[in-house]
Amino acid sequence: MDPWRLDGRVALVTGASRGIGAATALALAERGAAVILVARGAEELDALVASVLAGGGRAHGIVADVATPEGRLAVLDRVQALGGRLDILVNNVGINLRRPTLEATAEDWEMLVRTNVTSAWELTRGCHAWLAASPGASVVNVGSVASARSVRTSTAIYAMSKGALDGMTRFFATEWGPLGIRVNGVAPWYVRTPLAAAVLDDPAKAAAILDRTPLGRLGEPEDVARAVVFLALPASGWITGVNLPVDGGFLALGS
């Protein structure tokens, strides 16, 4: 098998209808994977599935909210109906609620944790049997540099949720490594996505972000998608427990 290809592999991507999730879905399909795409918005999801199919790839869409038990159960049931096989899981879904710490409510906290942490925790555990049955299985969690640095244009609860995801990545990698399941993460800095639009549309904030980015540009969804795909490829088969910065040098700058 070509270590730079994913032919014959099945990948599941959450939050797949736009931004990093959509770019990741397309990149996985380009490498030969059959992709199962999960999102809440049917129209965008259908368009993405159609795009993969038009390019000669294989894709199935699942309209579900993985922040809820019902949504996760719907995803697991559909994977089973599609053959009960999974080789790659990309936990990409995530949100941010941009409120100062003292203005954040208990409901804000619960919503962020349900979406950013619980969805990945429960879905990954739910997929365990399929991953354990797949030689070279890979889980990739989409985190954030906010788990390692205080990003003043973000929020405390977002940073805390992504820190929890990092901890999950490390622990699952060590616990499930003997089963042949690799678990890694990527940590983006500011990427041009709908989630970041509220910040990037502010000229002063965008300028400050670029000033802290040694490569001098914002990230694009494809930048992160390619890193995710690398961590899913057989070519990275001896890498696990890593949280890979995809940040234009932000973490290296240190100021």
pLDDT in tens, 167-218: 999 999 999 999 999 999 999 999 999 888 888 999 999 999 999 999 999 9
Domains of the chain: 10-246 (3.40.50.720)
pLDDT confidence band for 102 (50 / 70 / 90): very high
Q: Is 222 helix (H, G, I), strand (E, B) or coil?
A: helix
Catalytic, 190? Answer no
Q: Residue 98 pLDDT more than 90?
A: no
Q: Cα separations (Å) of 65 from 44, 75, 97, 152?
A: 14, 9, 17, 29
CB 247 within 8 A of CB 224: no
Which is the catalytic residue, given 130, 158, 230, 250?
A: 158
Residue keyed to tokens 């409901």: 107
pLDDT at 210: 94
Q: Which residue intervals of the chain are DSSP H helices?
A: 19-30, 42-54, 69-81, 106-113, 119-126, 128-132, 156-176, 197-200, 203-211, 221-232, 250-253
pTM (predicted TM-score): 0.96
